[in-house]
Amino acid sequence: MQTALSLRLAHRIGPLPLKLAGAAILALLLAMPALHVWTDPASSLHVSAYTLTLVGKILCYAIVALAMDLVWGYTGLLSLGHGLFFALGGYGMGMYLMRAIGHDGNYQSELPDFMVFLDWKTLPWFWQGSEHLAWALCLAVGVPGLLALVFGWLAFRSRIKGVYFSIMTQALTYAAMLLFFRNETGFGGNNGFTDFKRILGYGIAAPGTRATLFLLTVLLLVAALAAGFWLVNSKFGRILTAIRDAESRLMFCGYNPLYYKLFIWVASAMLCGLAGALYVPQVGIINPGEMSPANSIEIAIWVAVGGRGSLIGPVLGAGFINAAKSWFTVAFPEYWLFFLGGLFIATTLFLPRGLLGLLRRHKEKA
């Protein structure tokens, strides 16, 4: 029994070469911040702030892709609004970062610059407490979670499914974007938040700060993968795939899909919120553009290209597409969207299981 279990585990984690590749990538990711801090900028081993930020950003996207895959790949709920949860997490963290600027803003006021500009005299109520990082993190996780809970409850209880569900999530993020574009909403309008100075007293652009944020992101990704692995291999995970494949059969087995959907949907939104909270201090900006419908669609494309219904697939997809994007937007900026669209169509037609499916097929042939 014991051996059977460990065999099964080994089988699920993947064949040896894949495991080795995973370990190598993890070692490389852990080495990057060290190389950024401790090597001479002139040295060929040095990892530049640009590279570190770029990879850190992609890791945040990878976490979002993983969260997306839990609801789409495993549960069959295609969300086209996951960018909203990510952005809300970013805004939560952004509130703290804005407060941490203190008197060093352009107007040297206690209030964030955009509020001075709007001629506001006091902080709105929802900004209370945002000078504490811990509270800002609670907001970054809790607000996406709460929104997902309310939205999910209404949608799943009314048994809204398939394309209707997708359209509703898309409408939700669009509506939120319009709301955040307004100056009166109290989040800096279309400029959003930027010009951060420090976090917990450390300079936001200091090598040590960058390295720490990067490490935290790697940790979150690893933790999310581990939690995801445990979840999808539990009975709960099997119920999720049952919802995806034959929801009515599951209901007639006595399960109420509502609570299962709600649980994974809210957990996924909260994970996106955390990823957003790590993203904003690394890239130094958050604005309503992050809530644009196109962003959320892109998240779905990362997952589809990487391979949905697996844990590694979406991480691969987010990594591959965003690496390609950063190269394209320098080399041929005008062709990026064509490339992305083409890639999406090609995977849909030829690689239903995404890049991961391709890797596995290659492995099976060998």
Binding site for other proteins (CB under 8 A): 231, 234-236, 238-239, 241-242, 245-246, 248-257, 259-260, 263
The nearest distance, CB 7 to other proteins, in angstroms, is 12
The nearest distance, CB 68 to other proteins, in angstroms, is 19
| Residue of 174, 169, 176 lying closest to 300 (CA atoms) | 169
- How far lies 40's CA from each of 134, 218, 292, in Å? 34, 23, 40
Distance of CA 177 to the CA centre of its chain: 17
Q: Using CA atoms, how far apart are residues 141 and 328, in angstroms rounded to an integer?
A: 33
Q: Using CA atoms, how far apart are residues 142 and 126, in angstroms rounded to an integer?
A: 13
The nearest distance, CB 250 to other proteins, in angstroms, is 8
The nearest distance, CB 64 to other proteins, in angstroms, is 23
State which H helix or E strand residue 5 sits in: helix 2-13
Query: Residues for the chain: how many in total?
Result: 366
Our CB check for other proteins shows the closer of 43 and 248 to be: 248
The nearest distance, CB 257 to other proteins, in angstroms, is 8
Our CB check for other proteins shows the closer of 67 and 100 to be: 67
The nearest distance, CB 227 to other proteins, in angstroms, is 11
Our CB check for other proteins shows the closer of 2 and 248 to be: 248
The nearest distance, CB 77 to other proteins, in angstroms, is 16
Our CB check for other proteins shows the closer of 309 and 317 to be: 309
Our CB check for other proteins shows the closer of 4 and 349 to be: 4
Our CB check for other proteins shows the closer of 52 and 250 to be: 250
The nearest distance, CB 159 to other proteins, in angstroms, is 11
Q: Using CA atoms, how far apart are residues 334 and 328, in angstroms rounded to an integer?
A: 9
Our CB check for other proteins shows the closer of 121 and 235 to be: 235
Our CB check for other proteins shows the closer of 110 and 245 to be: 245
Q: Using CA atoms, how far apart are residues 316 and 72, in angstroms rounded to an integer?
A: 16
